[in-house]
Structure 1
Amino acid sequence: MGVTSAPFAVLLIHGFGANTEHWRFNQPVLAELVPTYAIDLLGFGRSDQPRARLKDEAEQEGSVHYGFDLWGQQVADFCREVIGRPVLLVGNSIGGVVALRTAQLLQDQCRGVVLIDCAQRLMDDKQLATQPAWMAWIRPLLKTMVRQRWLSTALFRNAARPGVIRSVLKQAYPSGNNIDDELVNLLFQPTQRDGAAEAFRGFINLFDDHLAPALMQNLSVPVHLIWGEQDPWEPLAEAQQWAKSISCVKSLTVIKGMGHCPHDEEPIATNAALKKIIG
């Protein structure tokens, strides 16, 4: 069977602040097996970056409410209009939540979902019971502050510097593997576009949106988990709980010693896991 005649394709969905180039070590390898696409979520990479509109704000021409329904619909449309065949969705971090929402929209056109260190979204209101008691006291102030565009833009601009990006990467990639100038640059360059701060404002104001476990509850397609053992932000223990308690989860592959983005930090092991899932 040739690649072009494969019965399904793979679509790679990046995490927060990343873009299609974050699959630099994966897309070429997987493309030897099946047609493999990557997409920039709206607001990131080379995509459009429209003005953010929060749920309770008046609609302005060209503005969008950034969230998982928007991104899920974008990806589902891409699958139908561009890929045009059943698809295996692979998502890292928030890209995992997007993949799950897309799977709901695609229904039988989705072959399955692979979650790579899927975002657990601990700041969502629905997660409040899992947070320390003091968090309930500061949340109203926090919500009031981050909705201010001047503040969200200032926070974004402070973070969107090569030195800060490299520092964050050292947390996300505990082994230090592949933290190179190419990686810093592929994350930095999109932040210099005029509308880059808008998706950031939209995302940090998502206090009531989809959570991965709820999306998986009635999902009919298989879900596979690939997780960095040392992820500092999305604990492996939660993934292990999903594997035990959610019926659509069929496997959990742990990438030893790696962090939040094992597909880039340890691509050989991650690619091997993905190849096994592809079959």
Structure 2
Amino acid sequence: MTAQTTSRPASLQLAEPWGGAGWVVDLGGPVHWVDYGGPDGSEDGAAAVPIVMVHGLGGSHLNWVGIAPELSRRHHVYAIDQAGFGLTPGTHRSTSVHANADLLARFVREVVGRPAVLVGNSMGGMVSLLMAAAHPELVEGLVLIDPSIPVPRQRPDLAVSATFLVYATPFVGERYMELMTRRTSDRQRVQSVVNLCFADPSLADPAVVDAGVVLATHRRTVPGQEAAFLGAARSLMKVLAVPRRYRSTMRSIDKPVLLVHGELDRLVPVAAARAVAADNPSWETMFLPGVGHTPQLEVPEQVRERITTWLGEHAL
């Protein structure tokens, strides 16, 4: 099954400046994804495995424009908008991490058509881990970029902790999201995410920021976007609340794994990544000094080069 025969072109083509073509496919509801092209698979397995990129909480397919075009030289690269994010609506379906793991599995099975390497950032890393554990036959390897993982006991970032406490509280979270939507402009909202996720916000690509503003403006017209975000955030926190089970899930992965983590990540401190790496000694790691929560946007060249090397080392 080819994606082009089952999908229709998206009405908003935000990834076009970076060589990506947006499509919408029906997978129990409309799902937006971006095709960066690249060599397709063949029966003799000569072509490199495809890559599917999975964004984090509040993110979208735009999170990958810094590394996807170059990776598509050797791999067919896809970027999916999870349910409730980007250009994929969350209305009438769950936006939990487990539901999005099931959606990701269906996307790989029905759109990509063969096992893939999953590249996940933040919540997308958690979703990729859950999907790989539940559907190992669909996964050839994992690249986890600052994934959502259990945090060791230490002094937390107070602003981040306070925000997630608000998200977790019924009614309070909904009211907070409504107020933020009303009282901040789309550009202010995008810039606030950059300020939180980048160690050095000046490194944000202005073209990516502008595209994010266009997306934020569009999302104001999407019903239930606040509920979709909170549903995903709360489900993520439920997984983190049972760290023993989540760590067991991570240890069950028997595919090659590359862990990339910014040492100045405010959302998932590097101590969490070092602990997970120690618990999974077969994983390969790359820790990036002076980098925040979204290295693929902050230092795309470094991330792209490491992923390319890792893929070659594993013949993927």
Question: TM-score normalized by structure 1?
Answer: 0.80
More relative contact order, 1 or 2 (CA 8 Å, 6+ apart): 1
**How many Å apart are 1:73 and its aligned residue?**
0.5
With 79-88 and 106-115 compared, the bigger mean Cα shift is at: 106-115
Note if 1:167 corresponds to 2:208.
Answer: no
| Alignment check: 8 A CA contact 2:49 2:75 kept | yes
TM-align CA RMSD: 2.7
Aligned 8 A contact 2:60 2:81 in 1: yes
Provide the C-alpha distance between the structure 1 equivalents of 2:139 and 2:212, rounded to a whole number of angstroms.
29
Aligned-pair CA distance for 1:157? 4.5
Shift of 1:215: 2.3
SS in 1 for 2:194: helix
Match of 2:298 among 250, 265, 279: 265
1:193 and 2:215 aligned: no
Whether the 8 Å CA contact 1:30–1:36 is kept in 2: the answer is yes
Structure 2 unpaired stretches of 5+: 1-37, 42-46
CA–CA distance in structure 2, aligned partners of residues 118 and 76 of structure 1: 18
2:25 aligned partner: none
Distance in 2 (CA, whole Å) between partners of 1:218 and 1:27 is: 28
Query: How far did 1:96 drift?
Result: 0.2
Q: Quick check: 1:67–1:209 contact (8 Å CA) kept in 2?
A: no
Tell me how far 1:75 sits from its aligned partner: 0.5
Q: Quick one: distance in 2 between partners of 1:160 and 1:77?
A: 35
Partner SS, residue 32 of structure 1 = coil
Deviation at 1:24, TM superposition (A): 0.8
Conserved? CA contact 1:92–1:118, under 8 Å: yes
Match of 2:288 in 1: 255
The answer for the alignment partner of 2:108 in structure 1 is 79
Contact 1:227-1:236 within 8 A present in 2 as well: yes
Runs of 5+ unmatched residues, structure 1: 51-61
Distance 1:141 1:46, change over 3 A: closer
1:235 corresponds to = 269
Whole-angstrom distance in 1 between the partners of 2:65 and 2:311: 19
Q: Partners of 2:297 and 2:104 in 1: how far apart?
A: 22
Q: For the structure 1 residues 158 and 228, does the alpha-carbon distance in structure 2 shift closer, same or farther, using more than 3 Å as the test?
A: farther
Q: Could you say which residue in structure 2 is the equivalent of 1:54?
A: none
* Equivalences for residues 129-168 of structure 1 within 5 A: 143-146=169-172, 149-158=174-183, 161-168=186-193
Name 2:39's counterpart in structure 1.
3
153-162 vs 2-11, which moves further: 153-162
Please list the CA deviations of residues 113-137 of structure 1 after superposition, one character each: whole Å capped at 9, or x if unmatched. 1110011366xxxx9x7788xx9xx
| Paired residues, number | 254
